[in-house]
Amino acid sequence: MNNQECGYKTSNATGLRNRAFQARYILTLLGFFGFFCVYALRVNLNVAMVAMVQQPRVQDVPNHEDNVDACPDLVKFPHGRNSSVQSVRSTLKGEFDWDSNMQGLVLGSFYFGYVVTQIPGGVAAEKYGAKWLFGIGILITAIFSLLTPLCARWSVWALIIARAIEGLGEGVTYPAMHALIGRWTPKQERCLLSTIIYNGTAIGTVLSLAVSGALCETNFLGGWPSAFYVFGLFGCLWFLLWITLVYDSPDSHPRISDEELLFIQLGQDEIQPHVKAPIPWKSILTSVHMWGLIVTHFGQNWGFYTLLTDMPTYLSNVLHFNIEKNGVISALPNLIQAFVAVIASWTADKLVASGKLKITTIRKIMNSIALYSPALCVLPVAFIGCEPVAIVVLLTMAVSLNGFIYSGFNVIHVDMSPEFAGTLMGITNCIANLPGFMAPSFVGWIVQDGHTLQNWGIVFVTTSAIFVVSGTVFNLFCTAELQPWGSNAPSSNVNNDAVTMDNTTPEPDKSNVQLCKEDVC
C-alpha cells in the first residue's frame, strides 16, 4: 500500500476534497470561538472594574497632589489631551469602595481556581476525552459571568468566589485543547492551526475590552453589568455548537473523509495507539527540557498578565484616559497581535516543511522574538514620562510581537509528546498561571501609595527583566524533539527535528491503527 492508493497526496494537500469544510478546520474554527469566549469572559472585568470602583481613591494616597502630578503636563492644560483633573474627578462614580489591594485581589481571584484544574484537566482530557471537558469548562465560566453583577452587589467576597469558580472552569481549557491539537493536527499544519485556535484569545480580548468599555459608558442593562451579560450569553450559545459539531479524535468523527483521516494520521509524529499508556510522571518531572518550559511559561505569563490586567488601570490612573478610550487602547495591541501571530505561524510551518532548519531552531527563533521584543519595548515606558503617544506605541508593539509565542514555546508541548500534550500543558499552565494573581497583587502593592510614574516604572522594569530571563531559559534548556517518554508507539525513534512531507513518507505500521477505511484501501 502506498500513499496514492489511500487517496493521500503528500505533495499537494490542497487536493483534499471539500477543503473548507474538513473536520479539522471546523474544530479549528470552533476552537477559535471557544478561546474567544475564554478571554472575553476573563478580561471584561479588567475594564468594568474602572466603572465599578470609586477611583482614584483620594484617601488611599498620602499626597493626592503627587498622584495627579504623575503626569503634570495633563494637569497644566486641563482642556488638552484628556481634560486632566476634570477627567480624573469624573471617575469617582463607581458604586464599590475597594482600595487598590482589594482590586488586585478581585482581579487575581480568577486564577485561584484556574491553577487548580490545570493538571487534572490535562489528565482527564487524555483519559476521558477533551471535547466535553473543554465545552463544559467554558459553559461554567459563562454561567458565572451572568451571575457576576449579582455577586458583586451582594459582597466582594461573593464576587471573589464567583471569579475563582470561573477560573476552575477555564482551567481545563488549555490542557483540553492541547490534547485535541495533538490528535487532530498534522505536523506540517500544527503551528498555523493551533495559532488560529489560540488567536481567539487575542480577538476575545480585543472585543471584550473595547465592547465592555463602550457598554460601561451606556445605560444598557444597567451599564457595567451588561459587559458580563453579553459575553456570558455568547458563551452559552457557543457551547451548543461545540457539542454538536466537534469530536474527540479524527477516527471517532462520523463525517470525516477517508482522505482527511489518512492525511492527519500520516502527519503525526507517531501512530496514536488505541490503548492509552500510563503517564510517565517521573520522566516528565525529571526532564530538564520540561522544567525549562515551565520557567519560560511562567515568565511569559507574568509579563502577559501584567500588561493584560493592569494596562487599563495604568491608562486610567496615570495617563487619565476615560473608560471608553481606555477600552479601545487596551484592545488595540491584541488585535495587531492576532495578525502577527498568524504571519509568524505561517512562516514557521513553511520553515518546518522545507526541512532547512531544525524544528528546535525554528521554535527558539520565534520564541526569542516573542519574549525579547516585549522586554525592549516595555523598558523605555518606565523612563519616558508622560508621553501618551509614545507609551501607547511601545505597549502596542510589546503585546503585538508577543504573538510569536504561538510558534515558540506554546506548541513545544505537542512537539515533545503529542500523546501527553494535554498533561504537559496542564503542568506548565498550572505553575505559569500563578502570576495571574501574583502579578496584579504585586502591582497593587507597588502602587498602594500612589499611581506615580516612579511606582509604575518599577512595574515596567520588573516586567522587562522577567521577559528577558524567561526567553534566555528557553534558549538554553528547551527542545522541540520528540522525547523518549513522549510516545507509546512501538517504534518512536522518529527524527522530529527534520520533517518533510513528500512521497517518500514511510508506510505506517498497520498493526497499530487502521489507517485506511475499507472503501479506500
Segment 155-167 mean pLDDT: 92
The answer to whether residue 521 scores a pLDDT higher than 80 is no
* pLDDT for the residue numbered 496: 44
Q: Give the residue with greater pLDDT, 16 vs 322.
A: 322
* pLDDT for the residue numbered 139: 96
The answer to whether residue 461 scores a pLDDT higher than 70 is yes
The answer to whether residue 447 scores a pLDDT higher than 90 is no
Q: Give the residue with greater pLDDT, 13 vs 272.
A: 272
Segment 72-77 mean pLDDT: 41
Q: Are 375 and 471 in contact (CB under 8 A)?
A: yes
* pLDDT for the residue numbered 193: 87
Cα distance between residue 394 and residue 400, in whole Å: 10
84 dihedral zone (left: phi>0; alpha: psi -120 to 50; beta): left
Residues 6+ apart with CB under 8 A from 278: none
The answer to whether residue 264 scores a pLDDT higher than 80 is no
* Beta-bridge partners for 96: 53
Provide, rounded to the nearest whole percent, the portion of the chain with pLDDT above 70: 79
Q: Give the residue with greater pLDDT, 389 vs 475.
A: 475
* pLDDT for the residue numbered 135: 94
* pLDDT for the residue numbered 20: 56
3-state helix, strand, coil in the chain (%, to 5): 70, 0, 30
The answer to whether residue 324 scores a pLDDT higher than 70 is no
Query: Which of 58-72, 138-152, 463-477 bottoms out in mean pLDDT, i.e. has the lowest?
Result: 58-72
Neighbouring C-beta atoms of residue 77, cutoff 10 Å: 12
* pLDDT for the residue numbered 166: 94
**Is 1.20.1250.20 the CATH classification of the domain at 21-53+95-268?**
yes
21-53+95-268 and 280-486: identical CATH topology: yes
Cα distance between residue 90 and residue 361, in whole Å: 52
* pLDDT for the residue numbered 64: 42
pLDDT band at 19 (very low <50, low <70, confident <90, very high): low
Class of domain 280-486: mainly alpha
The answer to whether residue 486 scores a pLDDT higher than 50 is yes
Spell out a b/e string for 133-142, using b for 16 or more CB atoms within 10 Å of the CB, else e: bbbbbbbbbb
pLDDT band at 230 (very low <50, low <70, confident <90, very high): very high
One-letter amino acid at 473 equals: V
Domain residue ranges in the chain: 21-53+95-268, 280-486
Distances (CA, A) of 387 to 72, 131, 349, 439, 457: 11, 47, 39, 25, 14
State pLDDT tens for residues 194-209.
Answer: 888 988 988 888 888 7
* pLDDT for the residue numbered 79: 40
* pLDDT for the residue numbered 243: 92
The answer to whether residue 357 scores a pLDDT higher than 50 is yes
- Cis amide bond preceding 78, omega within 30: no
Segment 206-223 mean pLDDT: 81
Distances (CA, A) of 25 to 35, 366, 445: 15, 24, 45
The answer to whether residue 235 scores a pLDDT higher than 70 is yes
The answer to whether residue 13 scores a pLDDT higher than 80 is no
pLDDT band at 275 (very low <50, low <70, confident <90, very high): low
Residue-averaged pLDDT of the chain: 79
pLDDT band at 514 (very low <50, low <70, confident <90, very high): very low
